[in-house]
Amino acid sequence: MSDSTDGSGPVSVALVDDHEVVHDGLISWFRDVDPPIAVSATFTRPADFLEKYPAAAGSEIDVVILDLTFAERATAPAEHVATIASAGYRVVVYSSSTDPHVILDCLDAGALTYLAKVEGREHMVAAVRAALTDTPYVSPSMERAMVANPRSSRPKLSDREIEVLREWFRTESKGATGEALHISVGTVNTHLARIRMKYARVGRQASTKAALVARAIQDGIVHIEDL
């Protein structure tokens, strides 16, 4: 994966969509982008992607652009998102669905950004660039879903996100957190970015470590005596 932390360097992406016209279109969009966005691999099934790239650690892939529906079998819309995100990848969903529930499910499953296929090149390029820094890019469809969010004010954090959050609270740095959990600093950053995005989506900003501690205590994720 890329060592860039500011989004200004080259990006290597994998496309996972069962329509070759989408592959061709995205390759065309990324052509002549500066700094480069290179399509390193294309797949028509998530299983084929994971067979070649089972984990983000040591992979050449920086960002995975993922559709939600595939002809092989019916799945819950966010199922493949969860599988690929849990392997450590930064996932940008690119789907025809604009259903707010589908969008929120994908974000809860670990996607950094959700783009509807009606949204254009500038949004895709910006989303890929933001993903390289483990930062969500809020597309128009994603913003609408977040504003209309019918869910409770307590975000749904995964078990792994809670584990990373608790360890980060106990340690001096993200590096120490990564060492304790045997993951990279980039993966720690990805989890923390997702947690902050989930809090922002329910109207409870947590842009600093202190704010996240406060939110976590309010929600019973941690207790003062645990810190």
Beta bridge partners of 65: 15, 92
Contact criterion met (CB below 8 Å) for 8 and 66? no
Q: What is the pLDDT, as a whole number, of residue 111?
A: 87
The verdict on pTM exceeding 0.85 is no
Q: What are residue 205's phi and psi, to 5 degrees?
A: -60, 145
* Boundaries of every domain in the chain: 11-147, 159-220
CA dihedral 42, 48, 51, 53 (to 10 degrees): 20
| CB-based burial label for 25 (10 Å; 0-12, 13-18, 19+) | middle
Q: What is the pLDDT, as a whole number, of residue 9?
A: 79
Element (H, E) at 198: helix 185-201
* CA 217/CA 224 separation, integer angstroms: 7
Q: What dotted CATH number matches 159-220? A: 1.10.10
Q: What is the pLDDT, as a whole number, of residue 144?
A: 84
Q: At what angle do helices 174-181 and 185-201 cross, to 10 degrees?
A: 110
Contact criterion met (CB below 8 Å) for 64 and 89? yes
At 32-60, the pLDDT tens digits run 999 999 999 999 999 999 999 999 988 99
In 90-139, which ranges are continuous DSSP H helix? 100-109, 121-132
11-147 is classed CATH 3.30.1360.70: no
Q: Say which DSSP state 12 is in.
A: E
Counting as low any pLDDT under 50, the low residues of the chain are none
Q: What is the pLDDT, as a whole number, of residue 135?
A: 74
Q: What is the pLDDT, as a whole number, of residue 188?
A: 93
What b-and-e string marks burial along 191-204, b requiring 16 or more CB atoms within 10 Å of the CB?
bbbbbbbbbbbbeb
Q: What is the pLDDT, as a whole number, of residue 77?
A: 76
Contacts of 154 (CB under 8 A, 6+ apart): 202, 219
Residue 73 identity: R
* CA 66/CA 43 separation, integer angstroms: 10
Tokens of 200: 């922002």
